[in-house]
């Protein structure tokens, strides 16, 4: 893919011709015809302008925790002023997503719990430098994608629309340094806790608590990159103390705040 206005990936790995790259949240512009198929995963919501397999450019909204597939030979234009952390997996030795009978059409915004677990596990391995079986991961994502290529497979209409998730993000960001309970978030939206939890599971493939933790850690990474002391970063992101931040960062990302700052992952 011809990336323009982009830096290097945060982390990457290659095994047997399969390449995995983790790209940071940043502005980008891509205008290319795909030589190889790409499976992508968005760790956060993204918005911009794109034209995939068509010359018509129009606004796009990529859902948080969503899986996408762009087949080989597919013309792609995509740009965003902010982007979002994104995982790209491709097989440089084949033109399919791991199965010869793959239907060659693009798909976006597929939210699947198994795909989410796979992508988050791969991100953790990439950032911590652990070995990972990319063949098994690609085959797993391929099977999930193929299931949604079946005739009549459509994404259900969800309560968690882009506008509602944006409103939730604004509330979280405004109170990120505070202790935010799921009940408090539900009350702000005038919803029951049960409804909010179900809506998140269906629309984002995760719980409100885990989504909040991802927002906290994303902000923590940005503050660490800016040079803010770890203890101050923990306070600004709503963690009880430095140890609390360290425990969650190691669990979710496979790396501690100190090693994140010292490693090549840091983008100044």
DSSP string across 41-66: EESS-EEEEEEESSS--EEEEEPTTE
pTM for the full predicted model: 0.89
User: In this predicted structure, what is the pLDDT of residue 266?
Assistant: 45
User: Could you tell me the end-to-end alpha-carbon distance of the chain, in angstroms, rounded to an integer?
Assistant: 24
The CATH homologous superfamily to which domain 3-149 belongs is Jelly Rolls (2.60.120.10)
| Mean pLDDT, rounded, for 177-205 | 90
Q: Is residue 164's pLDDT more than 50?
A: yes
Model confidence band, residue 3 (pLDDT cutoffs 50, 70, 90): very low
pLDDT at 1: 41
Residue 154 confidence (pLDDT): 53
- The stretches of the chain forming alpha helices (DSSP H) are 113-128, 134-149, 162-174, 182-188, 193-204, 208-226, 230-236, 242-253, 257-262
Indicate whether 4 pLDDT > 70. Answer: no
Average pLDDT of the residues in 21-28: 93
Sole residue written with tokens 């979002």: 84
Q: Could you tell me the residue ranges of all domains in the chain?
A: 3-149, 162-262
pLDDT of 91 over the 90 cut: no
Q: What is the pLDDT of residue 268?
A: 47
Q: What is the pLDDT of residue 265?
A: 46
For the chain, percent of residues with pLDDT exceeding 70: 88
Which H or E element spans position 161?
none
Return the CATH number of 162-262, one of 3.90.220.20, 1.10.10.10, 3.40.50.1010, 1.10.10.60. 1.10.10.60
Domains 3-149 and 162-262 share a fold: no
Q: What is the mean pLDDT of residues 83-104?
A: 72
Tokens linked to 141 = 């994502």
Of 172, 176, 121, 118, the C-alpha closest to 143 is 118
Lowest mean pLDDT across 70-79, 144-153, 223-232, 240-249: 144-153
Hey, what are 236's tokens?
A: 């600004």
Q: Which pLDDT band, with edges at 50, 70 and 90, does 237 fall under? A: very high
CA 174-176-177 angle, 5° bins = 115
């Amino acid at each position: 893919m011809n990336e323009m206005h982009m830096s290097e990936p945060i982390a990457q790995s290659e095994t047997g011709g399969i390449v995995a790259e983790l790209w940071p949240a940043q502005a980008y512009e891509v205008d290319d015809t795909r030589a190889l198929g790409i499976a992508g995963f968005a760790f956060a919501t993204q918005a911009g302008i794109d034209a995939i397999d068509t010359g018509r450019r129009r606004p796009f909204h990529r859902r948080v925790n969503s899986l996408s597939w762009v087949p080989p030979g597919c013309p792609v234009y995509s740009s965003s002023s902010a982007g979002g952390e994104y995982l790209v997996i491709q097989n440089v030795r084949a033109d399919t997503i791991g199965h010869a009978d793959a239907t060659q059409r693009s798909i976006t915004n597929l939210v699947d719990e198994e795909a989410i677990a796979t992508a988050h596990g791969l991100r953790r391995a990439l950032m911590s430098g652990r070995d990972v079986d990319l063949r098994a991961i690609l085959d797993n994502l391929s099977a999930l994608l193929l299931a949604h290529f079946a005739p009549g497979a459509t994404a259900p209409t969800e309560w968690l629309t882009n506008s509602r998730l944006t409103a939730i993000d604004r509330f979280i960001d405004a109170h990120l340094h505070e202790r935010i309970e799921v009940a408090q978030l539900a009350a702000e939206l005038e919803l029951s806790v049960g409804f909010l939890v179900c809506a998140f599971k269906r629309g984002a493939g995760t719980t409100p608590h885990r989504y909040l933790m991802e927002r906290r850690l994303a902000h923590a990474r940005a503050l660490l990159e800016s040079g803010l002391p770890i203890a101050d970063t923990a306070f600004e992101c709503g963690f009880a103390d430095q140890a609390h931040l360290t425990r969650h960062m190691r669990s979710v990302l496979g790396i501690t705040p100190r090693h994140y700052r010292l490693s090549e992952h840091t983008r100044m």
